[in-house]
Structure 1
Amino acid sequence: MTHRFSKWLVSVAAAMGGAGGALAQASADSAALDPNEIVVTAQKRTQSAQAIGVAVSALGKDSLAALGRQDVSALATQVPGLQVNQYSPTVTVFNIRGVSQNDFADSQEAPIAFYNDEVYISALGAISGMTYDLERVEVLRGPQGTLFGRNATGGLVQIVSAKPTDHLDGFVTATVGSYGQVATEGAVGGPLSDTLRARLSFTTNHGGAYINNRIGRDLGGSKFYAGRVQLAGDVGDGGKFNIKVQALRNDHDRQGGIYSHASAVPDALGLGTFIGTNENPWGTCNGCDALGYAEPDRDPFTASFNGPNRFNRTFWAVTARYEQDLGGATLTSITDYQDLKKRYGEDADMSPATNFSYSTAQDLYQISQELRLSGDTDRLNWLAGLYGIKIHTRNGYVTDTTGAFGLLEQYDSVLDTESVAAFGQLEYRLSDQFTVIGGLRYSKDWKRFDFVHSENGVQDFVFNKTLFPAFAKRRFGDYSGKIEIDYRPSRNAFFYASVNRGTKSGGFATQAFGPFDPAELSFDGEVLTNYEGGMKLTLLDRTTTFNVAGFYYKYSGYQSFELVGVTQLIRNKPARIKGLEVEFTTRPIVGLYLQAFLTLLDGEVRNVSLPGGAVLDRDMPQAPSVSAGGLIRYEFAAGPGRLAFQTNWKHDSRQYFSTFNAPVDREPARWVGDARVSYAFDDLPIEAAFFVNNLTDRKYRLYNLDLSGPFGFTQQTFARPRRFGGSLTYRLK
């Protein structure tokens, strides 16, 4: 298989005639854009977000800066239908419109794809820390399998880096915050010659430990560095390239297993329920888990951890992009290599005793190549391309319960994935008002899984293509596609109706404990078909936008993550989701910006087999039925500069963290808000800001893992408590 993939890459490179990597070139669509319009590249060319039949939200660099120094989870406060589960830098899980997959095994890929400058990032542990010196972030809701392809079943998040400019440009920001946080971000770039440009970007984040550990070092603190170098230039007549090298480093962070302990016991369905302080269902002590431990207070930000709680990561990548104007068509090549080494450990029992610890090690590399041709005429926009990717990930796990049960589980796996795809899309303008779009992608995946498990040093299970050829080596082939009709009666009104089909191939589960069923380790692919209609209105002299989208998801083979006791499984289940999204923005007067959004969801997974044996329909996880939010920003002249006030709030109704909908997984409804004040001088390139995140100090969870069956507790991760900070930014002018 490696030989076949290598030949494919060689043939693509040969077809490129030795070309390298490039800046995106705006298509003819961008020529008519209003300077205040939000632009996106959701269809592989620059367009107004108000003129495409995709539910998309985009945050530009000014909006991202106004969020303050937050990680990618801050996007959920301003994007409809988006939830972010980043309970540790080791895993970042996006949920869009109720679509996600919450398995924490390092070998899994998500159905919400993450892209960095059009490059797919397969490793969930490589995502955190990439959101610095950005031009914008785009969140596309609904299947995006035709043009973006890999595992964009439910949508995608794409970050777009700030590119080298033809003039001197740069900034540096220093931030200090609660819990001893000290962070920096900056960039400098400009022309090296008439045809060559460069940009250097960096960020650091140190401190910020917010969990008080009674018996050791505090948890939640960061020791993070990242950098990015880009070289861009012009080649001959109509050629452009961009070569990007980037690296991320977490150096012995204290962010592994930042949990809060809560005692629990299974109910009649086998689902965890919380134990009261005066209850003793395990016969150990009042309020205690099955191992005899209870937290002495109800503060989720105090703990008694004696375990490793470590996180180390080194990630680096090289991307080469080349774009050539062929006169009537544009040829684009994107070549990428990624390398990730990650080590993680946690005190899984969350107590002073050494009962249960969990650690992982991952070594991954990824190679991908995209080659596409695109062009347009008066009525037709077209695009066709090829895509290939190879992912090799070696993962080691140790689940140590010798203190509790006398068991030491060691298991290692190697997953090789190779995939090739062909795709195309046609957009034909029938008249000045009507446009039809058709797209198709066919993907072929080859996956091989080698898995070895040992208990107490004795090998007890081996899973590979020799022993289990029907399960350990699998081939998946399926198509994604879209049919859409757009109606634009005027420049300020846009209506669309579409059917989109997205796919994600099958894979393999990673079990910590036996018994092992070879058939259960392998799971099939999933298909999501989205029936959607929407409208996008630009009103009041183009100062206001009002967008509505309604959708129905028919989900076949939803890859449901289920934890049965201590056995991690992914089972294919039928599911369906229906919903409505509303977005509103306005600039009614100079300096005032208002934003509001509302998402209504109704989703269920069918025929879920619960640990107690019952088979029931359950709510989709991380899918609140009502989600609403808004932002107010007012900026005005004050003295020698401009003063700005901003606050944003978001409400989520109750939701569950797992497919089982256990009582301990039920998260109550909440409102969460932030505030920021900034001052920018007119004659000095300096801006100062003060921010408060989680303004009301709301205690709410981002994650929960129900381990009530074997251990009598549940692992909870709470969002960071209220924190204050200030920043100072200097910009080159």
Structure 2
Amino acid sequence: MFKLNTLFLSVAAGMLVTGVSNPVNANGLELKASKVKESSADIEVIEVYAQKRAQSIVDVAVAVTAIDGSDIDRLQIKDTTQLANSVPNLKITNNAGEGTPPAFSIRGVGMIDYNTSTISPIAIYSDGIVSGSANNLSINLFDIEQIEVLRGPQGTLFGRNTTGGAILLMSKQPDAEFGGYINASIGQYSYRSVDGAINIPLSDTTAMRFAFNQDDYDFSTNNLMEGSPDGGLKQQNFRLIVKSELDDVTILAKVHQEKWSGKPKPIASNGILNLDGSGMCTPEQAGSDICMDAFGGQVGGSDFWDVKADTADRNHESDSWGASLNVQWHINPNIDLTLISGLRDLERDHLWDSDGIGNYIEGSMGTGNRLVSHELNIAYHLKQVFWQTGLFYLSEETKQNNSFDLFRDFRAIPQLATNAAEYRYNNVLKNSSMAIYSQLDYQVTDATTLTTGLRYTDESTKYHANADLDIITGLIPDLWDFNGEVTDGEWSGKLALTQKLNAYNSLYVSYTRGYKSGGYNGGYSTSELQARDSEYQAEKLHAYEVGGKLQNIIPYLQLNIAAFYYDYREQQVFVNIPNSVVPYHVLKNAGDSTIYGAELEMAYTPTNNLQFNINVGYLPKANIGHYQKNNILVDDNRLPFSSKWNISGSVLYETQLAGKMLTSQLGFDYQSDFYFDQNENIYTEQKGYTLANGRISYQASNALLLSLWGKNLTNVEYAELRFDSIAALGAVTELKGEARQLGVELNYKF
């Protein structure tokens, strides 16, 4: 390890000395007319908040992708789970269906555990407030100013330490001008969307902005089960921000509310047993009319999006709200103080089905989640020094009211009735996190900046695990009932060097130590032994990175490149146990991982009306180390959701039509092969695929914009999840990706 690290630092130092370029970002650009000027002296460099202050992107030693709010609208990105097609080495999926905790992965570091107790190693900071558990990672994107995706561990500055990265959401802020807009869109699969905002000045110093969003849609799955729906959601979201700018103090108050309801996406239970009894079907044949599951069930349709699932009694309901207060005090020309406090409350009930036409494996996710966070940050800046230090506190409580209903149909068969059981869980997890952090940027020379940062985090998770059991003979209360606690105290931090070649180009080298605390995985245990074995410990990540941000080495070309090496210790891995008749999965510190790769982001604007964007993520190695305990085995397999190649891009073209602006955009997103679990099971492999999307917009007047849009234009067949249910059901549980969808949109500004 020492030899590898020494070589890494030697190469990095050589890059800084010789001026060899390397790193990442070109998203969030507009055409040359607005962001790339006719001479290099007029270049406008992207501004980011990756270090909790406004900086030119060339001044930060962080791999960061900035996505402008106009790009969010143009790319038809509905929520945070759809950001992956704009960021290299970012993968996101609703692996248990929309409305449940999604799975985020950056550079192979992520969490595919869909349990409501999960804390993802990727956090979202919405206007400065941390998301907390994975329950809060799916956020609708409307009236957004900018999104920044920080790749790699954020060991110093950001709230709850994240080993994978952080996503910063920045809402549009109130200003002194009255105005607003309304946007309406309709599309296939009963898609209806309306969003808008109004900005109202209240006085010379105070203004408010109210924004809203409503999406109502069906999924593209075609449920062949009589009386069962295709699934769909209605989502209503509101946000109010009031901003007061006094002489030396700025006060920002925000409240928001979200209400979702509907039917979950029905799964396909793809049987893998040949109808003729000759053995198992191939992965390509699974779910076809020549295959069945262990109970003789079949999907029965010939179209990829056909499913057959008994979901008539399955529902989804989410209600959440939150509030935050941000106070910024400019004490004097050299000192600023910021206080951010936030509260978020969520109540969710999601009923799921994973067995197709029968009632063999079903359940519910009932979640009550409340999070409170406070952060105090003091920044001191002189000509050569920018130093910030702060205190962070978080308290989060999650109440689980889950159920796990196994083989209910057996209750009607006397010989099998004793095999049917329903587990009802009443778990409570209380997490508290306290941290002190400090980071110093020291300008060694006019061109060289040294960044050092350190953070100490003290975190604990207290849990109460309780379960009742309902069987054919009656209810057994308190099948298990016990308490536990996991505590951690860890240092993390950062050391980086940034070398500016000129005002618009820079190189950097960095070392970051990331840390994520341990906890308790409140999953679907079926014995007290399994429940007691649900603790997991902290993971650590040592990240080495070199990169560069090159804004005009070639005229009108913006290029960012990064190369990284991860030494991942005691990695927390969601492990699906194969060959278990009763589905069983755990979250364990399943060994050490080695990850390395590279990224490239490019924007090229050869003319005033044409722009090319491309993002390339490359992960040649992303493997879990060998781990074995009892029947849990992880044997140097590739990490789930970690494609070797992740390539996306777009072409944007503007022209005049009848004296008005016509804008066309065509984009694509390619993911190479990956697995949905750690076993590298051929039945749960997703082969590589490419999704294409497009949009044509016509500016009919200064106030009116008309658009045609399309997603998955080539109607590619792909899965959001494949789960190994072979031992239990003789089938692979699959959630279908969304089919081609076309729509129209109208935007009116006032």
- Fold shared by both chains (TM-score > 0.5): yes
- Write the distance in 2 (CA, Å) between the matches of 1:51 and 1:435: 8
Q: Which residue of 1 aligns with 2:294?
A: 290
- Write the distance in 2 (CA, Å) between the matches of 1:413 and 1:407: 19
**Matching residue within 471, 489, 496 for 1:477:** 489
**Matching residue within 675, 681, 688 for 1:656:** 675
Give the deviation of 1:437 after TM superposition. 0.3
Instruction: After superposition, give the CA deviation of every residue in 1:511-534 in whole Å (9 maximum; x if it has no partner).
Output: 332262465211101001100001
- Write the distance in 2 (CA, Å) between the matches of 1:659 and 1:665: 10
Contact preservation (8 Å) 1:133, 1:201: yes
Give the deviation of 1:65 after TM superposition. 1.1
Contact preservation (8 Å) 1:140, 1:156: yes
- Write the distance in 1 (CA, Å) between the matches of 2:672 and 2:660: 41
Instruction: After superposition, give the CA deviation of every residue in 1:675-714 in whole Å (9 maximum; x if it has no partner).
Output: 1100113x43110110110010001112222111222222
**Matching residue within 511, 532, 537 for 1:499:** 511
2:563 partner SS = strand
**Matching residue within 492, 495, 499 for 1:487:** 499
Give the deviation of 1:129 after TM superposition. 4.0
Contact preservation (8 Å) 1:210, 1:218: no
- Write the distance in 2 (CA, Å) between the matches of 1:518 and 1:314: 29
Q: Which residue of 2 aligns with 1:646?
A: 665
Amino acid at match of 2:675: Y
Amino acid at match of 1:703: L
- Tell me: CA distance 1:168–1:615, structure 2 relative to 1, closer, same or farther (3 Å): closer
Q: Which residue of 2 aligns with 1:569?
A: 586
Instruction: After superposition, give the CA deviation of every residue in 1:604-629 in whole Å (9 maximum; x if it has no partner).
Output: 00114499776521001111111112
Instruction: Please state if 1:186 is matched with 2:213.
Output: no
Aligned positions of 1:13-28 closer than 5 A: none
Q: Which residue of 2 aligns with 1:469?
A: none
Q: Which residue of 2 aligns with 1:23?
A: none
Q: Which residue of 2 aligns with 1:79?
A: 87
Amino acid at match of 2:436: A
- Tell me: CA distance 1:54–1:298, structure 2 relative to 1, closer, same or farther (3 Å): farther
Instruction: Please state if 1:559 is matched with 2:572.
Output: yes
Q: Which residue of 2 aligns with 1:176?
A: 186
Which consecutive unaligned segments of at least 5 residues does structure 1 have?
Answer: 1-31, 267-271, 466-471
- Tell me: CA distance 1:69–1:502, structure 2 relative to 1, closer, same or farther (3 Å): closer
Contact preservation (8 Å) 1:109, 1:151: no
Give the deviation of 1:596 after TM superposition. 0.9
- Write the distance in 2 (CA, Å) between the matches of 1:144 and 1:542: 33
Instruction: After superposition, give the CA deviation of every residue in 1:6-30 in whole Å (9 maximum; x if it has no partner).
Output: xxxxxxxxxxxxxxxxxxxxxxxxx
Amino acid at match of 2:395: K
Q: Which residue of 2 aligns with 1:547?
A: 560
- Write the distance in 1 (CA, Å) between the matches of 2:287 and 2:718: 24
Q: Which residue of 1 aligns with 2:691?
A: 672
Contact preservation (8 Å) 1:685, 1:731: yes
Q: Give the superposed CA RMSD.
A: 2.3
Instruction: Please state if 1:155 is matched with 2:165.
Output: yes
Deviates most, 374-383 or 613-622: 613-622
- Write the distance in 2 (CA, Å) between the matches of 1:537 and 1:659: 38
Instruction: Please state if 1:55 is matched with 2:66.
Output: no
Instruction: Please state if 1:607 is matched with 2:626.
Output: yes
Q: Which residue of 2 aligns with 1:313?
A: 318
Deviates most, 598-607 or 532-541: 532-541
Deviates most, 155-164 or 606-615: 606-615
Give the deviation of 1:61 after TM superposition. 1.3
Deviates most, 587-596 or 381-390: 587-596
Contact preservation (8 Å) 2:219, 2:738: no
Instruction: Please state if 1:65 is matched with 2:93.
Output: no
Contact preservation (8 Å) 1:593, 1:632: yes
- Write the distance in 2 (CA, Å) between the matches of 1:346 and 1:43: 40
- Write the distance in 1 (CA, Å) between the matches of 2:441 and 2:287: 64
Instruction: After superposition, give the CA deviation of every residue in 1:240-273 in whole Å (9 maximum; x if it has no partner).
Output: 011000011012x12x25322212479xxxxx98
Amino acid at match of 1:376: H
- Tell me: CA distance 1:541–1:355, structure 2 relative to 1, closer, same or farther (3 Å): closer
**Matching residue within 510, 524, 539 for 1:526:** 539
Amino acid at match of 2:130: Y
- Tell me: CA distance 1:69–1:102, structure 2 relative to 1, closer, same or farther (3 Å): closer
- Write the distance in 2 (CA, Å) between the matches of 1:159 and 1:421: 22
- Write the distance in 2 (CA, Å) between the matches of 1:581 and 1:54: 12
Deviates most, 539-548 or 161-170: 539-548
**Matching residue within 249, 252, 256 for 1:246:** 256
TM-score w.r.t. the length of structure 2 is 0.87
Give the deviation of 1:127 after TM superposition. 3.2
Aligned positions of 1:349-360 closer than 5 A: 349-351=355-357, 353-360=358-365
Q: Which residue of 2 aligns with 1:516?
A: 529
Deviates most, 403-412 or 560-569: 403-412
Aligned positions of 1:108-187 closer than 5 A: 108-187=118-197
Give the deviation of 1:461 after TM superposition. 4.0
Q: Which residue of 1 aligns with 2:237?
A: 226
- Tell me: CA distance 1:238–1:277, structure 2 relative to 1, closer, same or farther (3 Å): closer
Contact preservation (8 Å) 2:228, 2:310: no
Instruction: Please state if 1:299 is matched with 2:313.
Output: no
Contact preservation (8 Å) 1:263, 1:274: no
Instruction: Please state if 1:330 is matched with 2:336.
Output: yes
Give the deviation of 1:377 after TM superposition. 0.6
- Write the distance in 1 (CA, Å) between the matches of 2:721 and 2:622: 19
Give the deviation of 1:289 after TM superposition. 1.4
Q: Which residue of 2 aligns with 1:712?
A: 730
Give the deviation of 1:202 after TM superposition. 0.2
Identity across matched positions, percent? 25
Amino acid at match of 1:306: D
- Write the distance in 2 (CA, Å) between the matches of 1:344 and 1:563: 21
Contact preservation (8 Å) 1:451, 1:464: yes
Deviates most, 285-294 or 62-71: 285-294
Deviates most, 241-250 or 658-667: 658-667
1:432 partner SS = coil
- Write the distance in 2 (CA, Å) between the matches of 1:702 and 1:315: 25
Contact preservation (8 Å) 2:103, 2:113: no
Give the deviation of 1:473 after TM superposition. 1.2
Aligned positions of 1:385-464 closer than 5 A: 385-401=390-406, 402-404=408-410, 405-456=419-470, 457-459=475-477, 461-464=479-482
- Write the distance in 1 (CA, Å) between the matches of 2:608 and 2:287: 60
Paired residues in the alignment total: 681
Instruction: Please state if 1:260 is matched with 2:257.
Output: no
1:50 partner SS = helix
Instruction: Please state if 1:44 is matched with 2:52.
Output: yes
Contact preservation (8 Å) 1:137, 1:157: yes
Instruction: Please state if 1:591 is matched with 2:609.
Output: yes
**Matching residue within 367, 388, 393 for 1:383:** 388
Contact preservation (8 Å) 2:91, 2:641: yes
2:571 partner SS = strand
Amino acid at match of 1:606: G
Amino acid at match of 1:688: L
TM-score w.r.t. the length of structure 1 is 0.89
2:173 partner SS = coil
**Matching residue within 196, 209, 212 for 2:222:** 212
2:597 partner SS = strand
Q: Which residue of 1 aligns with 2:4?
A: none
- Tell me: CA distance 1:384–1:313, structure 2 relative to 1, closer, same or farther (3 Å): same
Instruction: Please state if 1:624 is matched with 2:624.
Output: no
